[in-house]
Amino acid sequence: MICNAWIAAVALVAVVGHAGAASIDIGRIFDIGRDVADATKGMDEKDEIAVGREVTGRLLGAAVLVADPELQAYVNSVGRWVASQTERPDLPWHFGVIDSPSINAFAAPGGYVLITRGLYDILDSEAQLAGVLGHEIGHIVQRHHITVMQKSAALSAGARIAQRDGRSAIVNQLIGTGAEVFARGLDKSAEFEADRVGVVLAARAGYNPYGLVEVLHKLAARTGDDASLALLFKTHPHPGERLNQLGDAVTPRVPTLPTGKEPAIRQVSADVPPPAASRPVPTAGTRALQEDSATARSSGKSGGGIGIDPAGVLRGIFGR
Amino acid sequence: MNRAFHRILQVLAAAALLATLPAAAQQFALERDSPLYAEPRLDSTQVTQLKQGAGGEVVGKQGAWINVKTTAGSGWLFSFNVRFQARGDTGDTGGSAESRGLGSRERVRITSTIGIRGLEEEDLKQASFNAAQMKLLDGYVATKEAAEERARGAGLASEKVEYLGTKP
């Protein structure tokens, strides 16, 4: 999912030009005359972080953080510890639990990981949390979003054509239907890889390596019409398929993987009400979601009125 | 008086019995034909070979393995080969070994989520950058050192584990 998020995120940063992303050298990323695949090669860590920040800020515009500072600090401690086991330990890792009953988790480039309250609530142990966060961290460490763009020959071909019409046309092409379908095909393998990474990262951090497997079992046991899983099932391989893939990869290593620990998971504070139903309460810096939504829908535009479809911006990832 | 006391004892005994009744066992069904092992190891002796669709009760877990009871015998199954059935109840029954990690910790929210719309594409489509929430998120960041210290406190230590797909 991250892949789609990334692609559209680049588009957003390029076009919307939010202040939070002002440091990105748009000219370098979207240099007219270069195709998109080449452009992504020029994307360095600083760009990744800036784009990830933009994507994350938008997600927080759709669902705010759960108002439990101790929980948030706890998840950051666990996530940071797991991230420290990777080849990118010094990214500015951020973790958060967002107030949504949906079961999902999200990752954005540069070290941003968000997990929904709905998913957090079904976790039984810190090992399971570590597995879920490890999956998300895996997407970021493996730079799946960038890889997808680089591999996307169809995308770059389309972008070349679009270049004739200027930068916004490139953006449209990036997140256009054709490109999105193509990216989805690659998403699946990225999900399987992130699952494999999640298991290993949890093990490296000293946890029971199978926490993520237990969570996948929980998801597989839920029915497809479970409303809390709508977005997840729409954007991910079925958990059963993920279990099959992961099982094949894990089998030869079962005898040697460490047993690991299963510390208890921190509960959400009793003072915090259950997840907000659907719409977040608009806060400072957030456009009131209710306002002019009809207009936005009918025009198919969002943000700065650019002709892009951010539906692909933040696909749930658990996980992506 | 004596009778009343006796009655109280009876009630207490009944309550104690109820409290010790096992939680409703987690049910499973096999996703593919699988050996039922005597021990949770791939090189263990096999109790029997089970067919896809065979089911039973989960009585425990250990790493990648689940301990099960079936009509063909008891033993261990590679957990990737099974699928658990959704619990029809609305809650955890107390965190028994078999339900922990395999069942659900949710207590009553299952019914309440039905009909509730969660985070969907349309929400993401409509959302704009929330600077205040980003500031909050920044404030929760843990340093590498602090995270390591907390992990040590929780009894965790780094292990050297190669990525899957590479030689161990």
Nearest CB neighbour to B161, from listed A61, A204, A316: A204
| pLDDT of amino acid A98 | 95
Interface-testing mutation among B92, B100, B164, with chain A (most A C-beta atoms within 10 A):
B164
Interface of A with B in 123-142 (CB under 8 A): 123-126, 128
Tokens 């941003």, located at residue: A112
Q: pLDDT (tens digit, 9 = 90+) per residue, A219-231?
A: 999 866 667 777 6
The CATH code of the domain at B2-87 is: 2.30.30.40
Looking at the domain assignment, is residue A141 inside a domain?
yes
At residue A58 the predicted structure's pLDDT band, cuts being 50, 70 and 90, is confident
Sequence spans of domains, chain B: 2-87
Q: The tokens of A206 are what?
A: 């000293």
CB contacts, 8 Å: B155 with chain A: 206, 261, 263
Looking at the domain assignment, is residue A290 inside a domain?
no
DSSP state of A113: E
CB contacts, 8 Å: A278 with chain B: 116-118, 123
The CA-to-CA distance between both ends of chain B, in Å, stands at: 72
| pLDDT of amino acid A50 | 84
Looking at the domain assignment, is residue A209 inside a domain?
yes
User: Hey, are the CB atoms on A196 and B165 less than 8 Å from each other?
Assistant: yes
| pLDDT of amino acid B60 | 94
Q: Smallest CA–CA separation between B76 and chain A, in Å?
A: 14
- What's the total number of domains in chain A? 1
pLDDT greater at residue A207 or residue A290: A207
Q: pLDDT (tens digit, 9 = 90+) per residue, A94-136?
A: 999 999 998 988 888 899 999 999 999 999 999 999 999 999 9
Q: The tokens of A39 are what?
A: 């452009």
How many other C-beta atoms can be found within 10 angstroms of the C-beta atom of residue A72?
21
At residue A76 the predicted structure's pLDDT band, cuts being 50, 70 and 90, is very high
Q: The tokens of A300 are what?
A: 């198919």
Looking at the domain assignment, is residue A309 inside a domain?
no
| pLDDT of amino acid A308 | 25
Using DSSP's 3-state secondary structure scheme, residue A148 falls into: helix
Looking at the domain assignment, is residue A317 inside a domain?
no
User: Hey, are the CB atoms on B42 and A251 less than 8 Å from each other?
Assistant: yes
Nearest CB neighbour to B137, from listed A94, A122, A123: A94
- The angle at the Cα of A123, spanning B19 to A87, to the nearest 5 degrees, equals 145
Q: pLDDT (tens digit, 9 = 90+) per residue, A272-285?
A: 998 866 444 444 33
Per-residue pLDDT of chain B (168 residues; tens, 9 = 90+): 566 666 666 655 555 554 444 557 889 999 999 999 999 999 999 999 999 999 999 999 999 999 999 999 999 999 999 999 876 533 333 334 444 445 444 432 322 223 334 566 667 767 788 999 999 999 999 999 999 999 999 999 999 999 998 654
Q: The tokens of A18 are what?
A: 């939010």
Residue range(s) defining the domain that contains residue A234? 2-260
Looking at the domain assignment, is residue A68 inside a domain?
yes
Which residue is closest to B85 within chain A, CA to CA? A221
Nearest CB neighbour to B118, from listed A77, A93, A230: A230
Check: pTM over 0.80? Answer yes or no. no
| pLDDT of amino acid B135 | 98
Q: The tokens of B150 are what?
A: 């907390």
User: Hey, are the CB atoms on B156 and A205 less than 8 Å from each other?
Assistant: yes
Interface of A with B in 59-98 (CB under 8 A): 59-65, 69, 72-73, 75-81, 84-85, 89-90, 92-96, 98
Q: What is the mean pLDDT of chain A?
A: 71
CB contacts, 8 Å: B87 with chain A: 221
Q: The tokens of A95 are what?
A: 């973790």
Do the interacting molecules here have an ipTM over 0.85? no
Which residue is closest to A138 within chain B, CA to CA? B163
Q: The tokens of A111 are what?
A: 């070290």
Q: Smallest CA–CA separation between B147 and chain A, in Å?
A: 5
| pLDDT of amino acid B25 | 82
Looking at the domain assignment, is residue A74 inside a domain?
yes
- Cα distance between residue A45 and residue A31, in whole Å: 18
Q: What is the mean pLDDT of residues A298-311?
A: 30
Q: Is the pLDDT score of A310 beyond 50?
A: no
CB contacts, 8 Å: B104 with chain A: 122, 218
Between the CA of residue B168 and those of A275, A298, B162, what are the distances in Å?
42, 55, 6
Q: Where are the alpha helices (DSSP H) in chain A?
A: 2-16, 26-29, 36-41, 45-62, 69-83, 117-121, 126-141, 144-151, 153-163, 167-175, 177-204, 211-220, 230-235, 239-250, 293-299
Q: pLDDT (tens digit, 9 = 90+) per residue, A130-175?
A: 999 999 999 999 988 766 555 554 455 555 554 544 434 433 444 3
Residues in Cβ contact with A158 at an 8 Å cutoff, skipping those fewer than 6 apart:
A173, A176, A178, A179
- Cα distance between residue B127 and residue A302, in whole Å: 8
| pLDDT of amino acid A314 | 36
Q: Smallest CA–CA separation between B111 and chain A, in Å?
A: 10
- The Cβ-side half-sphere exposure at A285, using a 13 Å CA radius, reads 19
User: Hey, are the CB atoms on B118 and A228 less than 8 Å from each other?
Assistant: yes
Nearest to A10 by CA among A157, A148, A191: A148
Q: What is the mean pLDDT of residues A48-54?
A: 83
User: Hey, are the CB atoms on B130 and A274 less than 8 Å from each other?
Assistant: no
| pLDDT of amino acid B91 | 36
pLDDT greater at residue B44 or residue A12: B44
Q: pLDDT (tens digit, 9 = 90+) per residue, A198-227?
A: 999 999 999 999 999 999 999 999 866 667
Looking at the domain assignment, is residue A135 inside a domain?
yes
Q: Residue length, chain B?
A: 168
Residues in Cβ contact with A301 at an 8 Å cutoff, skipping those fewer than 6 apart:
A307, A308
